[in-house]
């Protein structure tokens, strides 16, 4: 027994020593020195601004299921509450007490209480959570829930507040409406559910406008007053069928917007029929109800106010300011005016939502502040090298020049030095040429390649150029009328040319789908300045099925884009790079049918054609298997080590197949409930290299595919925990081909090592670190549901970790197998900078081999850099240069003195 305890103690000590050696700590003075974070709330849905209370506030709800309080002066987030994603956390209603109607100050009070609510929200549908919040602190004060009998029908439920009551409206499309009133704070029903027959209602044509349920039927408006004792059908002729979808105007009961004009559902509801605009909102100015409109004309944002009763324009509320194109179209959400003696409108603040997912605050015809909420939905990022400094650029241009002989080259070099000295002298006295725009902005490449331009593509079509060191937004552009592809694939951001080819500028491309036609859209731009390049926007006349970057560049160092359309025809942009596509292999994956198809691209007679090569059906014998994920390797990845040294000094060579793709399929099973299949497929030959099945395993699934290994996180439904499975592929003790890999020569089947680990958290994203030469050790970055990013060394995920302590794996340096992975807080690279809803991690190499650049995004964004093997190629900041200089001087002097004494000694010995 004592020997077993002693052996266990040794095993634990070895494990602790290995783990301690891989810990990367963060000192207190390094916090926010190499990283920064942005806090987002998402696209605006509802907004209420109040400037005259004890504490001015701006309360908002967003389409990302967030409620928050913003500072009206700066737009800073004072507090926020992030709800669940999807329908479970969707905000059905947000009601502010001061926005209640008339004498309703204590309308929502509990029975026997004299206090009403401050902020009320309705969230979700099964169950629906009705909550009261403290609007100043964001604390939850009370809550009650409602569980519907039929959860599927409750998904389309609606809510509205009126006179101390909160009404639950459940539409049963093409049939009837079910309306149930409740006391707002207690949840006590006031009566039975009223069922109103309405066979004309449909989800696409109906909205809730205050207390009226309104639908459009041809050129007629059909409404029902849901608060009436006996609701009657109210019909109103519009004259012509609306072109745009109808929407409700908040603040006025029974008023909707039809084709940019206000229409009341009944004739006795006063509206300003003469007003025209893209957006309207209601507020108060000088104790009067005021309708405010916001429109863009001639690149100017025009805000106008009108008295709701008389429709008379209020000149004090008129604002006009330059409106950049990258904001898209505006929608006015709320406004309020600070009461002063003059009431001249200068204290009015207008809150505007834009189609690019920005929040714009306007005051006195100026932009008070702006929040770029498109960053809450990041779908692609790229790090771009910055251009050289002006002097370095001239030197680069000179070195690229070709001289006729040595003498002319020497004369050219001397003249260049004279010109550089003259330029330096003129710059010192203030008469030199002005620096370029990029150099003024500090966008200059540094010695270690750590300073880069971070280009970010968001779901709304907004593109940002951000300094990765400071987080400053240098430029932004907006692609209107674009969206993700039909199969759910996101828009793509591609680098066609980097900044390393001076004097040519870098070139990036966004590939998307047109919302109107469904065809492809290409937009090329300079990632350093954000300006369009090479023609800018290009509308394609076909739908995009697959795309790929050409491996070779032309004389202008631009990598072409190979695009396959829905008819399997291919095109190349730019067109002069067609010849570079000859001999390229492509594949397509159909998620619904579970099939993969491989193609060969051939260039002949100035035309590109595709030849079908192979087809793989992964749908199963019942045809119910669907592809849920396809993971390929990073195309810029460099493999430094070709093998793994064994204890007997032999080498176990890695199976490094650049054409290997991991395909995951999901199916339901009557016995095992869920089936997850893993396939490793060579997409050039179509051969299945390896396959494996997991029973009672289901998504969420997150995959990392790199070098010769694969790691994927999944949920084990049997034991109800998250697990990470790792697979390593080896060729064996002999290497099939040490020069160029070929999938057409039938390489031998690999040796497969696999293992599963338990991770004590819910995984939301995974990514491997990458460096320029691949020398640095690989780590896996794991994003957790709590918003942390854990950096795990590959040694902890290695499938060759021996289960037995006497295994030979220990001699290879592998740690003994332990089922549960440790998650030490020291390995959380974002320490206390929590990233809400973390779902995206991107890594890129820097100029230093030891350093990897990281972008993590969800609702928030976090940018940092990490060193998996520590900064072995960089001196520390506290390096003692004085001491090392003194040591070098002493050693050099000592060696010279010793040399002199030794020569004298040898001379004396020679004369003896």
Q: Which two tokens stand for residue 45?
A: 């849905």
Q: Dump the DSSP string for 765-799.
A: EEEE---SSS-SPPEEEEEETTS-EEEEEHHHH-T
Nearest to 159, CA basis, from 254, 70, 93 = 93
> CB neighbours of 908 closer than 8 A, spacing ≥ 6?
none
User: At residue 803, what are phi and psi to the nearest 5 degrees?
Assistant: -80, -40
Question: What is the model's pLDDT at position 251?
Answer: 82
Q: Which two tokens stand for residue 705?
A: 């595919």
Long-range contacts of 530-539 (CB under 8 A, 24+ apart): 530/463, 530/465, 530/474, 530/475, 530/476, 530/477, 533/505, 533/507, 534/507, 534/574, 537/479, 538/573, 539/514
Bond before 574 cis per omega within 30 degrees? yes
Where does 502-558 show beta strands of DSSP type E? 507-514, 520-525, 532-539, 544-553
Q: Are 283 and 336 in contact (CB under 8 A)?
A: yes
Nearest to 258, CA basis, from 273, 244, 239, 269 = 244
Question: What is the model's pLDDT at position 161?
Answer: 92
Q: Which two tokens stand for residue 249?
A: 């105007």
DSSP 808: G
Q: Dump the DSSP string for 633-670.
A: --TT------EEE-TTS-EEEE---TTEEEEEEEEEET
Q: Dump the DSSP string for 185-210.
A: TT--B-SPPEEEE-TT--TTTEEEET
Question: What is the model's pLDDT at position 410?
Answer: 75
Helix axes 390-400, 406-428, angle to 10 degrees: 170
Dihedral angle, C-alpha 768, 772, 775, 780, nearest 10 °: -10
Residue 417: in which H helix or E strand, if any?
A: helix 406-428
Question: What is the model's pLDDT at position 19?
Answer: 45
What gap in Å lies between CA 484 and CA 493, rounded to an integer? 12
DSSP 357: S
Question: What is the model's pLDDT at position 493?
Answer: 95
Nearest to 45, CA basis, from 66, 76, 27, 69 = 66
What gap in Å lies between CA 763 and CA 740, rounded to an integer? 37
Where does 14-150 show beta strands of DSSP type E? 36-38, 44-50, 57-62, 66-70, 77-82, 91-96, 119-123, 128-133, 140-146
Q: 748 to each of 318, 623, 655, 739, 745, how far by Cα in Å? A: 76, 30, 9, 16, 9
Quickly count: other Cβ atoms within 10 Å of residue 539's Cβ. Answer: 11
Three-state DSSP class for 903? helix
Half-sphere exposure of 612 (CA within 13 A, CB side): 8
> CB neighbours of 850 closer than 8 A, spacing ≥ 6?
771, 776, 867, 868, 869, 870, 871, 872, 873, 874
Nearest to 73, CA basis, from 53, 54, 51, 52 = 51
What gap in Å lies between CA 414 and CA 490, rounded to an integer? 54
Instruction: Name the burial class of residue 483, with classes exposed (0-12), middle (13-18) and buried (19+) by CB atoms within 10 angstroms of its CB.
Output: middle
Residue 608: in which H helix or E strand, if any?
A: strand 607-617
Nearest 5°: CA angle at 638, between 18 and 571?
A: 145
What gap in Å lies between CA 18 and CA 389, rounded to an integer? 44
Question: What is the model's pLDDT at position 23?
Answer: 46
- Paired residues of 259 in beta bridges: none
Q: Which residue has the tokens 């780590």?
A: 779
Question: What is the model's pLDDT at position 732?
Answer: 87
Sheet containing strand 255-258, strands side by side: 247-248, 255-258, 261-264
Q: Which two tokens stand for residue 824?
A: 């030490």
Three-state DSSP class for 846? coil
Question: What is the model's pLDDT at position 131?
Answer: 94
Nearest to 862, CA basis, from 466, 508, 443 = 466
What gap in Å lies between CA 267 and CA 265, rounded to an integer? 7
Question: What is the model's pLDDT at position 482?
Answer: 93
Q: Which residue has the tokens 């030849």?
A: 611
Q: Which residue has the tokens 């909205």?
A: 207
Bond before 737 cis per omega within 30 degrees? no
> CB neighbours of 22 closer than 8 A, spacing ≥ 6?
793, 795, 796
Q: 462 to each of 301, 522, 860, how far by Cα in Å? A: 20, 14, 16
Quickly count: other Cβ atoms within 10 Å of residue 740's Cβ. Answer: 5
Three-state DSSP class for 127? coil
Question: What is the model's pLDDT at position 383?
Answer: 95
Q: Which residue has the tokens 């008295």?
A: 307
What gap in Å lies between CA 847 and CA 859, rounded to an integer? 29
What gap in Å lies between CA 220 and CA 841, rounded to an integer? 50
> CB neighbours of 872 closer than 8 A, spacing ≥ 6?
850
Three-state DSSP class for 254? coil
Where does 355-416 show beta strands of DSSP type E? 358-363, 366-372, 378-385
Question: What is the model's pLDDT at position 781?
Answer: 96
Question: What is the model's pLDDT at position 751?
Answer: 92
Low-confidence residues of the chain, pLDDT below 70? Answer: 1-30, 32, 99-116, 341-342, 390-405, 419, 422-441, 805-812
What gap in Å lies between CA 69 and CA 684, rounded to an integer? 54
Written in H, E and C, the secondary structure of 670-734 is CCCEEEEEEEEEECCCCCEEEEEEEECEEEEEEEEEECCEEEEEEEECCCCEEEEEEEEEEEECC
> CB neighbours of 675 closer than 8 A, spacing ≥ 6?
625, 666, 667, 668, 669, 693, 694, 695, 697
């Amino acid at each position: 027994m004592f020997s077993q305890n002693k052996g266990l103690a040794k095993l634990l000590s070895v494990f602790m020593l290995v783990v301690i050696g891989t810990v990367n700590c963060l000192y207190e003075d390094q916090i926010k020195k190499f990283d920064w974070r942005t806090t987002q709330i998402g696209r605006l849905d509802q907004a209420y601004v109040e400037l005259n209370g004890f504490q001015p506030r701006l309360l908002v709800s967003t389409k990302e299921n967030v409620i928050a309080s913003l500072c009206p002066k700066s737009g800073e987030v004072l507090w926020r509450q992030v709800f669940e994603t999807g329908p479970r956390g969707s905000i059905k209603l947000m009601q502010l007490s001061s926005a209640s109607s008339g004498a309703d100050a204590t309308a929502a009070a509990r029975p026997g209480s004299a206090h009403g609510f401050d902020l009320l929200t309705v969230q979700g549908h099964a169950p629906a959570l009705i909550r009261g919040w403290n609007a100043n602190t964001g604390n939850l004060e009370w809550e009650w829930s409602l569980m519907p009998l039929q959860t599927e029908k409750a998904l389309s439920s609606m809510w509205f507040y009126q006179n101390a009551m909160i009404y639950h409206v459940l539409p049963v499309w093409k049939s009837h409406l079910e309306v149930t009133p409740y006391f707002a704070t207690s949840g006590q029903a006031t009566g039975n559910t009223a069922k109103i027959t309405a066979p004309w209602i449909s989800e696409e044509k109906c909205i809730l406008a205050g207390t009226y349920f309104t639908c459009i039927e041809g050129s007629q408006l059909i409404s029902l007053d849901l608060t009436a004792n006996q609701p009657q059908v109210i019909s109103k002729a519009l004259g012509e069928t609306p072109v745009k979808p109808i929407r409700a105007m908040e603040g006025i009961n029974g008023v909707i917007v039809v084709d940019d004009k206000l229409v009341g559902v009944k004739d006795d509801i006063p509206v300003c029929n003469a007003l025209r605009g893209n957006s309207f909102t209601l507020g108060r100015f000088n104790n009067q109800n005021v309708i405010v409109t916001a429109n863009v004309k001639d690149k100017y944002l025009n805000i106008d106010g009108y008295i709701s009763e008389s429709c008379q324009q209020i000149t004090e509320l008129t604002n006009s300011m330059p409106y950049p194109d990258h904001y898209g179209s505006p929608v006015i959400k709320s406004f309020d005016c600070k009461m002063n003696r003059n009431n001249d409108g200068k204290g009015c603040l207008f809150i505007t939502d834009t189609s690019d997912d920005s929040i714009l605050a306007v005051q006195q015809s100026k932009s008070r502040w702006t929040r770029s909420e498109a960053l809450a939905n990041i779908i692609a990022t790229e790090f771009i090298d910055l251009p050289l400094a002006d002097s370095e650029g001239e030197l680069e241009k000179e070195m690229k020049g070709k001289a006729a002989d040595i003498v002319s080259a020497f004369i050219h070099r001397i003249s260049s030095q004279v010109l550089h000295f003259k330029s330096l002298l003129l710059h010192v006295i203030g008469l030199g040429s002005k620096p370029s725009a990029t150099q003024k902005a500090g966008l200059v490449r540094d010695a270690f390649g750590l300073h880069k331009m971070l280009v970010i593509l968001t779901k709304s079509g907004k593109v940002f150029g951000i300094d990765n060191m400071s987080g400053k937004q240098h430029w932004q552009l907006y692609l209107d009328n674009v969206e993700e592809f039909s199969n759910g694939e996101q828009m793509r951001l591609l680098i066609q040319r980097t900044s390393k080819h001076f004097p040519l500028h870098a070139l990036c491309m966004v590939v998307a789908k047109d919302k109107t036609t469904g065809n492809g859209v290409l937009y090329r731009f300079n990632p350093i300045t954000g300006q369009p390049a090479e023609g800018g926007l290009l509308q394609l006349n076909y739908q995009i099925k697959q795309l790929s970057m050409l491996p070779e560049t032309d004389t202008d160092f631009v990598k072409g884009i190979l695009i396959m359309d829905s008819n399997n025809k291919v095109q190349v942009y730019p067109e002069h790079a067609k010849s570079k596509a000859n001999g390229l292999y492509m594949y397509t994956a159909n998620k619904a049918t579970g099939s993969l198809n491989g193609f060969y691209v051939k260039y002949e007679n100035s035309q590109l054609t595709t030849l079908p090569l192979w087809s793989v059906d992964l749908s199963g014998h019942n045809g119910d298997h669907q592809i849920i994920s396809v993971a390929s390797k990073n195309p810029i990845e460099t493999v430094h080590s070709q093998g793994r040294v064994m204890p007997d000094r032999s080498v176990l060579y890695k199976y490094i197949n650049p054409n290997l793709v991991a395909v995951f399929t999901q199916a339901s099973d009557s016995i095992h409930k869920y089936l997850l299949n893993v396939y490793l497929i060579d997409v050039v030959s179509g051969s299945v290299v390896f396959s494996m099945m997991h029973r009672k395993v289901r998504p969420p699934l997150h995959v990392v595919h790199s070098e010769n290994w694969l790691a994927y996180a999944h949920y084990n439904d049997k034991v109800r925990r998250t697990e990470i499975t790792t697979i390593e592929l080896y060729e064996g003790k002999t290497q099939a081909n040490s020069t160029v890999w070929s999938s057409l020569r039938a390489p031998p089947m690999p040796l497969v090592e696999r293992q599963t680990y338990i991770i004590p958290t819910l995984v939301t994203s995974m990514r491997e670190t990458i460096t320029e030469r691949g020398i640095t050790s690989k780590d896996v970055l794991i994003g957790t549901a709590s918003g942390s990013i854990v950096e795990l060394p590959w040694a902890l995920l290695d499938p060759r970790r021996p289960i037995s302590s006497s295994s030979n794996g220990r001699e290879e340096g592998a740690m003994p197998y332990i089922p549960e992975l440790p998650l030490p807080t020291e390995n959380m690279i974002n320490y206390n900078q929590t990233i809400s809803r973390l779902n995206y991690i991107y890594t890129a190499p820097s100029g230093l081999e030891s350093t990897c650049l990281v972008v993590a995004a969800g609702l928030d964004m976090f940018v940092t850099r990490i060193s998996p093997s520590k900064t072995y190629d960089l001196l520390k900041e506290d390096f003692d240069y004085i001491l090392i200089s003194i040591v070098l001087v002493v050693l050099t002097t000592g060696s010279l003195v010793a040399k002199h004494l030794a020569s004298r000694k040898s001379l004396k010995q020679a004369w003896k």
